[in-house]
Amino acid sequence: MFKTLAILATLALASAQDCPPPTSSSTPPPKATGTVIHPNGDTSKCLDVQGANFANGTPVQIWDCNGTPAQSWTLQRGAGKVKLAANGTNFCLDAGTNPANGVGMKIWSCVDVPQQNWFYTDDNRIALTGQGFCLDLTNGDKTDGNRVQIWQCGTGNNNQVWTTNVLRRRYMRS
């Protein structure tokens, strides 16, 4: 009996040594390298491209910060304008062809159109150039998946206050 147990133990040890180490079935997402935008100073929440789906019309939402490219933005300057582009892509924050209160934000291929031209105001708002609308946290709700919108810019509206980990007013002003 002891001899059988010893043989089984030896076989188990030998077969364990021949097995390759376990591998993870999923690779971790790549880390972001651009600017992260937070609603009203809440550094646990980020402006996020829904599902990291970089395609025309993908909604922009609020999500727990996770360091992925879906939450990384870069500035593209040109002709006195600033575009907020999803880092490493040619997709820009877009307010649609008919900006109005409550229009949900999305990404769209970066082109020279008014609905993609933004500036950072002195009171930490991201405003659509020449339109009077600001990026707005819908109903002030920071729940994951809450789509952001544009709304008429207004002082005292904390739903329109955005902070970043890199950008400063002097870099975003046009």
Cα 81 to Cα 84: distance, rounded to the nearest angstrom: 10
Arithmetic mean of pLDDT, 71-99: 81
Average pLDDT, the chain: 79
pLDDT at position 86 is: 83
Lowest mean pLDDT among 84-98, 104-118, 135-149: 84-98
Q: How confident is the model at residue 4 (pLDDT cuts 50, 70, 90)?
A: very low
The pLDDT of residue 103 is above 50: yes
pTM of model > 0.85: no
Share of the chain above pLDDT 70, in %: 71
Domains of the chain, start order? 46-172 (2.80.10.50)
Q: What is the pLDDT of residues 139-169, one digit of tens each?
A: 999 999 999 999 999 988 999 999 988 633 3
Residue in 44, 54, 147, 143 with CA at minimum distance from that of residue 95: 147
Cα 75 to Cα 22: distance, rounded to the nearest angstrom: 41
Q: What is the pLDDT of residues 23-72, one digit of tens each?
A: 444 444 445 567 899 999 899 999 999 999 999 999 999 999 998 999 99
pLDDT at position 76 is: 64
Lowest mean pLDDT among 39-43, 74-78, 88-92, 142-146: 74-78
pLDDT at position 45 is: 98
On whether the CB atoms of residues 84 and 171 are closer than 8 A, the answer is: no
